[in-house]
Amino acid sequence: MPLATISSFNYRDYSLEALAAAKGERTISVCIPARNEESTIGKIVATIVAELVENWALVDEVILIDDHSSDATAAVAANAGATVVSAEDILPEQNLGPGKGQAMWKSLLVSSGDLITWCDGDIREFEIRFVVGILGPLLTESNLQFVKAYYERPYLDEASGGGRVTEIMARPLISLLFPHLTGLYQPLSGEYGGYRSLLEQLPFVADYGVELGLLIDVANLVGTDAIGQVDLGERQHRNRPLDDLGPQAATILHTALVRVNSSLVSEQVEFVRPAQDSLTLDHLELPPMASLAPYQQRHSPT
């Protein structure tokens, strides 16, 4: 069975000069959800600010959503030029504790761009291609509303082998349940973006299921023809220990099953492993941001 077709691009095909011209009157926000990333966040923010905000005026704002960090992530990001907002201070009535999806969802409220791109805060050897590559197709392909990154992911001393949860959980799930998305190389990539007019209509899973949940929901709402993917080369980041991967995989499975049939699984499940404490995993989904009065007051409905 052939892979489902998803339009693919390469970051090398986009020059900063061309994208600055293609941007027109559109505004762009780069949002970074981060928790305890003080060792990498400074270079990420400083690079984006210096090259894409100040030199080329391609990006209009860089916002770091500090997701309950206990280190100096917020201070380092602010010193590098980001606008830093604590996740706890955004819609405090929706404060569910740490959660990547929750931080991303809240970034819709505090950002102002017509286009929003997200990137992770743990990327080593960061370069502007992690932002430019996402913006390239969005600014130049009129049919695209949502773009995902893909890349080579080194693991330990090997040139590839990263993305273990993708290979052992996300890809089998997509093949079995969402075959229209099988053409995506990195369905769980942390670098992606889209138009506010689309993103504000979507629910956000509060934790690690956010990537798969958004992908499925975008395809359901606007179709796969509106989704693109872009090759960003190689991505080096912190690889998590094996003990962290089981809960992540379970959360992604939970997200998929809810979208197939919500009666298949309860909102709260116990993740049990022999000789280890069990973990309670809650599946929490945040409503489309456009449905909330504070968002409507700050952003004109689109």
The sign of the torsion formed by the CA atoms of 183, 187, 192, 194 equals positive
Q: Is 245 inside a domain boundary?
A: yes
State which H helix or E strand residue 147 sits in.
strand 146-152
Q: Is 116 inside a domain boundary?
A: yes
Measured at the CA of 197, the angle between CA 9 and CA 259, to 5 degrees, comes to 80
Report d(CA 59, CA 29) in Å as an integer. 6
Q: What is the span of the domain harbouring residue 28?
A: 7-298
User: What pLDDT does residue 116 have?
Assistant: 98
Q: Is 2 inside a domain boundary?
A: no
User: What pLDDT does residue 135 have?
Assistant: 98
The single-letter code of the amino acid at 81 is G
Tokens of 248: 């992540």
237 and 155 Cβ atoms separated by less than 8 Å: no
Q: What is the pLDDT along the chain (302 residues), one digit of tens a residue?
A: 556 689 999 999 999 999 999 999 999 999 999 999 999 999 999 999 999 999 999 999 999 999 999 999 999 999 999 999 999 999 998 877 789 999 999 999 999 999 999 999 999 889 999 999 999 999 999 999 999 999 986 654 544 444 678 888 999 999 999 999 999 999 999 999 999 999 999 999 998 899 999 999 999 999 999 999 999 998 865 556 667 778 889 899 999 999 999 888 888 888 888 878 888 888 899 999 999 999 999 997 55
Can you state the percent helix, strand and coil of the chain, rounding each to 5?
A: 45, 20, 35
Q: Is 1 inside a domain boundary?
A: no
CATH for 70: 3.90.550.10
User: What pLDDT does residue 162 have?
Assistant: 45
User: What pLDDT does residue 159 have?
Assistant: 43
Report d(CA 39, CA 73) in Å as an integer. 8
Domain count, the chain: 1
Q: Is 159 inside a domain boundary?
A: yes
Judging by DSSP bridges, how do beta strands 61-66 and 28-34 pair with one another? Answer: parallel
CA 203 to chain centre: 14
pTM of the model: 0.92
Q: Is 290 inside a domain boundary?
A: yes
